[in-house]
Structure 1
Amino acid sequence: MVIDAWMQHGTVRFLQHEMLDSLWRWTGQKPPEQEVPIDVTVGAMDAGGVDVGLISAWYGPEGALVSNDEVASFVEQAPPGRLLGIASVDIRKPMDAVRELRRCVRELGFRGLRVVPWLWELPPTDRRFYPLFAECVELGIPFCTQVGHTGPLRPSETGRPIPYIDQVALDFPELVIIGGHIGYPWTEEMVAVCRKHPNVYIDTSAYTVRRYPPELVRYMTQDRQHKVMFGTNYPMMTAERALKGLDGLGLSDEAKEAFLSGNAKHVFHL
């Protein structure tokens, strides 16, 4: 079984946003002019052998780029069990954000919260995040975020694992935190934080197997209970491309299973 921990089924307003210009340039693609059918996303999952994809909403200072209700609609349009929703919220009004998160989990069946700090140019230690962290603990869902440098045209400072992820994990030891995008160029910091805190995980979205930093590969191959999970950052990268060369990492069967599905099953309660 393969679970993709970081996907988007983007709206046109999200995919055409100027902040993503650098990503489209790197991939040699252009953003779509019309809304993309769900069949396209499911087809890309099939081609890469992905059984379940976690697709998220996107909220930023300008509002909803992909709303929670749109994500719920995408999940409903897909074959049963193929897509699962991850909520996002507007952090400027923390209590409204908490109520929206509750609605997404209790009524829409979403499996986690994702807030991307660089979109707000605020680190995850900002006071506006803390009510959401407490609610994630109460709801029993993970907080998914981005670590490492920022590919889109925004500052990268908010993606530092130390001090930000380390401090959040100290303040909320019960909170499950998933740091997406590996943490490069601070991958060694991210691995250290992951080893230090039992509820901190890493996902590999936005990176192909062949671009995994050596310190991440060492962690996955040498630690019998590594906490790394697979992600693509689709549609910027497909699973078929991301997983090419996986057998060359030298993972044991146990480590490979944890990477492709086991860790995600655990934290998303699948």
Structure 2
Amino acid sequence: MDVDSLVAIDVHTHAEVSADGHSSLSPELMAASEAYFKAPGHRQPTIDEMAAHYRSLSMAAVVFTVDSEHQTGHPRIANEEVAASCAAHPDVLIPFASIDPHRGRAGVREARRLVTEHGVRGFKFHPSLQGFAPDDRMAYPLYEAIEELGVPALFHTGQTGIGAGLPGGGGIRLRYSNPMLVDDVAVDFPELRIILAHPSFPWQDEALAVATHKPYVYIDLSGWSPKYFPPQLVRYANTLLQDKVLFGSDYPVLTPQRWLDDFDKLEIKPAVRPKIRKENAARLLGLRAADKETSA
């Protein structure tokens, strides 16, 4: 990947459909998400189509699905498929995996295999959708493996559109996505690189506190147009967290063009803009030879 030629690195995009047409979410949960984001019938691009889209924009993207089979009963898209599809587009796509902590030892073995044999560069957790608290010791063997492998763990934080409006929220518990629960993970796995995904409504201040206190906790800005960012998030991104804030779109729910257009209108210091758009992610993910020496 020629990092210097890229305009931006999007650290948060979703593989929503497999090659055989299997969706990452059940029809009920997908419909609720579409209604929440006011995107009825929104198109689910294949990974090949995602690659073409990001290549046309001179951007790279981290791609993942979510393994929530234990909580939802809906079979996941195979991590191996995501990895193989991204490997076909190494100039623009970076594969992450998702393993439900409820998979126990089998999940730990899978994590090691995915990194060592399939080129996976990180892991995505969605505690509310997966039905676990991040500080649950059940997940600790998986975190230990990820820390040893030297790749990041990205946690959904804050409210989610998945299940919104359904009776009981589709059984999804928002409290599992409080970033303070990830603070325990950062304490117990001090070398684990952690990304708190999204402006963490209604826990934005908690996310900022964790990221400023723990040296290897980052924040991605996905899922919201920058024009809606809380003022304290903008203030910290401009100052204390300027080296730890990452561009993320939540594609295909929000397009990278829309996000960056609105980001250009935000009061961000000129010296900070390239850090958020690309440089912080390149360093965290070890995308340059020099970065690989310091990212693990």
Output the TM-score relative to the length of structure 1.
Answer: 0.91
Partner of 2:229: 212
SS at match of 2:133: coil
- Per-residue deviation, residues 23-61 of structure 1 (Å, max 9, x unmatched): 2122323155xx7444432343256x3521110132111
Alignment match of 1:40 (pick from 44, 49, 68) = 49
2:10 counterpart letter in structure 1: D
Distance 2:202 2:48 in 1: 35
Moved more, 245-254 or 103-112: 245-254
Residue 108 of structure 1 pairs with residue 118 of structure 2: yes
Correspondence 1:85 to 2:85: no
Render the CA deviation track for 1:6-36: whole Å, top value 9, x for unaligned: 111221422554223232122323155xx74
Alignment-derived partner of residue 82 in structure 2: 71
Stretch deviating more after TM superposition (137-146 or 239-248) = 239-248
In structure 2, the partner of 1:161 is 179
Q: Does the Cα contact within 8 Å between 2:221 and 2:246 map onto a contact in 1?
A: yes
Q: After superposition, where does 1:121-200 map in structure 2 within 5 Å?
A: 121-153=131-163, 154-162=172-180, 164-200=181-217
Contact 2:193 2:217 in 1 (8 A): yes
Tell me how far apart the structure 2 counterparts of residues 234 and 41 of structure 1 sit (CA, whole Å): 9
Q: Name the SS for the 2:118 alignment partner.
A: coil
For each residue in 1:66-121, what CA deviation from the matched residue of structure 2 results, as whole angstroms up to 9, or x when unmatched?
2111202321343x321111011132232111111111111111110112111122
Question: Structure 1, unaligned stretches of length 5 or more?
Answer: none
SS in structure 2 at match of 1:58: coil
Give the 3 Å change call, closer, same or farther, for CA 132–254 of structure 1 in structure 2.
farther
Matches of 1:263 and 1:148, distance apart in 2: 22
The CA RMSD over aligned residues, in Å, is 1.9
- For residues 26 and 74 of structure 2, the distance between their equivalents in structure 1, rounded to whole angstroms, comes to 15
Q: Is the 8 A contact 1:202 1:229 kept in 2?
A: yes
CA deviation map 1:130-175 (0-9, x unaligned): 111111111101111101112211221111112x011111111111
Alignment partner, residue 54 of structure 1: 62
**More moved, 68-77 vs 96-105:** 68-77
Return closer, same or farther for 1:219/1:59 CA change in 2, 3 Å cut-off: same
Cα distance between partner residues in 1 of 2:269 and 2:52: 29
Task: Work out the CA distance in 2 between the residues paired with 1:198 and 1:141.
Answer: 15
Contact preservation (8 Å) 2:108, 2:142? yes
Aligned residues: 265
Q: Could you tell me whether the CA contact under 8 Å between 1:219 and 1:226 is conserved in 2? A: no
2:113 alignment partner AA? R
In 2 relative to 1, CA 224–200 (structure 1 residues): closer, same or farther, beyond 3 Å? Answer: closer
CA contact (8 A) 2:100 2:130 kept: no
SS in 2 for 1:244: helix
Contact 1:63–1:90 (CA under 8 A) maintained in structure 2: no
Matched residue SS, 2:258: helix
Contact 2:179 2:200 in 1 (8 A): yes
Aligned-partner Cα distance in 2 for 1:45–1:29: 23
User: How many Å apart are 1:189 and its aligned residue?
Assistant: 1.1
SS at match of 1:185: coil
Say whether 1:6 aligns with 2:12. Answer: yes
How far apart are residue 233 of structure 1 and its match?
1.1
Contact preservation (8 Å) 1:224, 1:255: no
2:265 alignment partner in structure 1? 248
* 3-state SS, counterpart of residue 202 of structure 1: strand
CA distance in 1: counterparts of 2:105 and 2:94, whole angstroms? 25
